Amino acid sequence: MPPEPVLSLAFAIVAGLVLGGSVAAVSCRNRVHAGLFLAVALVGLALVFLRMGAEFLGFIQILVYVGAVAVLIVFAILLTRGSDSAHERRSNAPGIGIGLAVLLWGVLAWGILHRSPGAIATPSPPPSMAVRDLGERLLREELLPLQTVGLLLTAALIGAALIALPEPGISPRPSGSHGSAGTETPPSSPT
């Protein structure tokens, strides 16, 4: 594999995509836009994965995060819109939060730059990731965790559907307001 320049233009672009998307996602006042910017940041991260040679994970990232989680978040934003936007204030003590985050980044960066650079910098033979190897690893050594995760996902889906069911005592929202269709009982509820 040809040696890649440390700070290539491509890396700068995808890193910019990730960071810009992230910053926009957490700072945007419009919640729908925030959800969309999250998708942008996650696409950027998928591109980082692709560049690192983890093609499979990059596509997984796009499929699961951009295709499912981000879309789910956008849906949730749409469903819950309208009731409380009137008295929404901008942020909850932004100074403290941002200050803490910057402080943490400072500590981490200091650690990354100064703590035992040798261990990280030694370029070992760049690993490749054949999907076949990954599959064999998952289905042989990691079979039990894999099944457990499957169970967890099933339980989470059933639980999510149950939690989101309308409670008997709560009347559905009056028709005409935003997102009333989403509060109906899902047709395939497990109960």
Partner 1 sequence: MENLAKNLWVIPLLPLLAATVGTFLPRRLHRVTAGLSVAALATAAILAAAAFLSVVRGGALYSNVPWFETGTLSVRVGWILDPLSAAMLLMITVVGTLIFIFSTGYMAEDPDSGRFFCFLSLFAAAMLGLILSNSLLLLFICWELVGLASYLLIGFWYSRPPAADAARKAFLTTRIGDLGFLVGLIWLYSESGTVLFYDQGAGCLEPAALSGIAGRATAGGLALGTAISLLLFCGAVGKSGQLPLHVWLPDAMEGPTPVSALIHAATMVAAGVFLMARMFPLVALGGSAELPAPALVVMAWTGALTALFGALTAVAQTDIKRILAYSTISQLGFMMMGLATGGPAVGMVHLLTHAFFKALLFLGAGSVIHGCHGEQDIRHLGGLRRRMPLTFATYAVGMMALSGVPVFFSGFWSKDAILHSLSHWAPSRVPFLLGVLTAAVTAFYMTRQMIYVFAGTSRGPDSAHAHEGSPVLTVPLGILAGASIALSAVTTPFRPWLEHFLSPASTPSESGSVWGILILSALACGAGLAAGGILYRNLGVALKTGRDPLERWVPRMYTLMRDRFRFDEFYRATLVKWVGAAAWISAALDQSLGSVFRDLASFAASAGSWLSRTVDQGVLNASFDDGCQAARDAGGLLSRTHDGQPQRSLRILIAGVIALAAGLLFLATS
Partner 2 sequence: MSAATLHLLLAAAMFCIGLAGALCRRNAILVLIGIELMLNAANLNFLTFWKYGPQPQPLDGPVFVLFSVAIAAAEAAVGLALIIAIHRRYRTTQLEEISRLRG
- Taking every pair of Cα atoms in the chain, the longest distance, rounded to a whole number of angstroms, is 66
Residue with Cβ nearer partner 1 (116 or 191): 116
Identify how many contiguous H helices and E strands the chain contains and give both numbers.
8, 0
Count of residues binding partner 1 (CB under 8 A)? 14
What tokens appear for 2 in the block? Answer: 């040809």
Q: Which residue carries 């295709």 as its tokens?
A: 67
**Binders of partner 1 in range 86-105 (CB under 8 A):** 92, 96-97, 100-101, 103-104
Is residue 143 at the binding interface for partner 2, with CB under 8 A as the rule? Answer: no
**Binders of partner 1 in range 40-79 (CB under 8 A):** none
Q: Minimum CB separation from partner 1 for residue 41, in Å?
A: 21
- Interacting residue with partner 2 among 1, 2, 9, 92 (CB under 8 A): 92
CA-nearest of 92, 75, 91 to 32 is 75
- Interacting residue with partner 1 among 94, 110, 129, 159 (CB under 8 A): 110
Is residue 36 at the binding interface for partner 2, with CB under 8 A as the rule? Answer: no
CA-nearest of 25, 20, 23 to 37 is 25
Q: What is the DSSP letter of 62?
A: I
